[in-house]
Amino acid sequence: MQQRDKLFINGKWVAPHGTGLINVIHSTTEAVMGRIPEGHARDAEDAIQAARAAFDSWSATPPSVRADYIRKIAEGLKARSEELAQLIAGEVGMPIKMARAIQVGGPVYNWTQAAKLLETFVFEEEVGNSLVVREPVGVVAAITPWNYPLNQITLKVAPALAAGCTVVLKPSEVAPLNAFVLAEVIEAAGLPPGVFNLVTGYGPVVGEVLASHPEVDMVSFTGSTRAGKRVSELGAQSVKRVALELGGKSASVILDDADLAAAVKGTVGACFLNSGQTCSAHTRMLVPRARYDEVKAIARKVVEGYTVGDPLLETSRLGPLISAAQKDRVTGYIQRGINEGAELVAGGPEAPEGLDKGFFVKPTVLGNVDPKATVAQEEIFGPVLSIICYDTEEDAVRIANDSIYGLGGGVWSGDEARAIRVARRIRTGQVDINGGPFNMQAPFGGYKQSGNGREAGKYGLEEFLEYKSLQMRKPAA
């Protein structure tokens, strides 16, 4: 068991102001796998002051020097890859092979890319008689979720540091152990004191201070839409910049000329990744009404191939959910879907056979779901796919857009031009065309109540920069 009793503030491991500890629960064994400090409001304030004091020097550090530090951090994480994969597989429940590739490989790649980006990024340009410069926004509070813990931390902290900002990180208290490894790597890389600070604890205590403190210039938050609204309210009081990456209810639109087998298999995969604990998961599969029976049969067969089990076993394709509360929430949604008239195509609310311990849920497909049903409108955050029938292409677009969210989605068609035409009409931040793979250089973020702002690639770096225009007097002709 990992016992963490100190916070990382101003370049040092320091005792927190309070004495409380938070248990970190293993998603498969339900045992306590670690303990972390329950941070106090004063800890958050100390970290903010450290970040503020470090800002002037760090923001003036040449981009090439910042890139060297970031490269060292990437190398440090890579050296501890297996340790991190095992940790996150325990915390979150993602099968170990995927945890290595996604939960750790993704962050290592994104830290490396942040350093590379500084080699080519244009921080100033002449526009007429103005010199337009990009400057760091200031002190950044990064508040991150548990589903892709290290990667969501990376998508905020790496570009913020690259931009010249200083950072206070509050990771999710549900999956925080990986953040301590990152802090150790950052310490070993020799980052100047105060440039990066780690404070763990609960959102209503530490998070509220970070979102409301006048010395914080920007809050970057990933989590639920409900919590995102609270962050926005608090941030508005000091008119700080707020970037939000929130919930989703993404639609995979399978058009009548699509390769049905490939489209259904691809949609199931995009729904069940990380046991459905993915904000951009394709949880609504829109299919032509005339093809429903075919789709149902294909989906049932695909789901049979998802082996549910211990994520540390190489054979497991689907691990547990993050917590008992999440398990209860998801199984409650499955039962509600059935109660509201959906056909149970695969899975169900009962625990998977032979898995009485751990937060396991059967991969579930609900058929013939009404577009207005609860399971078609609300984010479930579990391995639950709703099949929704439509009559025309126009109908499919309408149903896809009938959501408060707009984060991800997909369109499948034998005609790529047609798929792109439909994708352009879907009000969402990303759309996969015929299963196009995730691009870590492309902007990630949402429309509507899925949030605002973008992460990844140069777009993620730009989030942490301000524009300044220097108007120059041109010499007389």
Catalytic residues: 245
Inter-CA distances, 441 with 137, 281, 282, 438, 458, Å: 22, 19, 21, 9, 7
Q: What are phi and psi of 353, to 5 degrees?
A: -60, 130
Per DSSP, what are the bridge partners of residue 389?
A: 287
46 phi and psi angles, rounded to 5 deg:
-60, -45
- Of the candidates 81, 162, 181, 161, the residue with the CA atom closest to the CA atom of residue 117: 162
CA 150 to the chain's CA centroid: 9
How many angstroms separate the Cα of 474 from the Cα of each of 21, 134, 249, 325, 345?
Answer: 62, 22, 53, 65, 72
d(C-alpha 361, C-alpha 403), whole Å: 25
Q: Which helix (H) or strand (E) holds 105?
A: helix 105-120
Half-sphere exposure of 361 (CA within 13 A, CB side): 32
Instruction: Return the DSSP state at 323.
Output: -
Q: For residues 10 and 58, is the Cβ–Cβ distance under 8 A?
A: no
Task: For 136, list phi and psi in degrees, rounded to 5.
Answer: -60, 145
Measuring CA to CA, how many Å separate 83 from each of 15, 104, 155, 226? 25, 10, 20, 33
DSSP letter for each residue of 258-313: S-HHHHHHHHHHHHHGGGG--TT-EEEEEEEGGGHHHHHHHHHHHHHT--B--TTS
CB contact set of 405 (below 8 Å; sequence gap of 6+): 225, 246, 247, 248, 249, 250, 379, 428, 446, 448, 449, 450
Contact call for residues 290 and 395 (beta carbons, < 8 A): no
Phi/psi of residue 345, each to 5°?
-85, -40
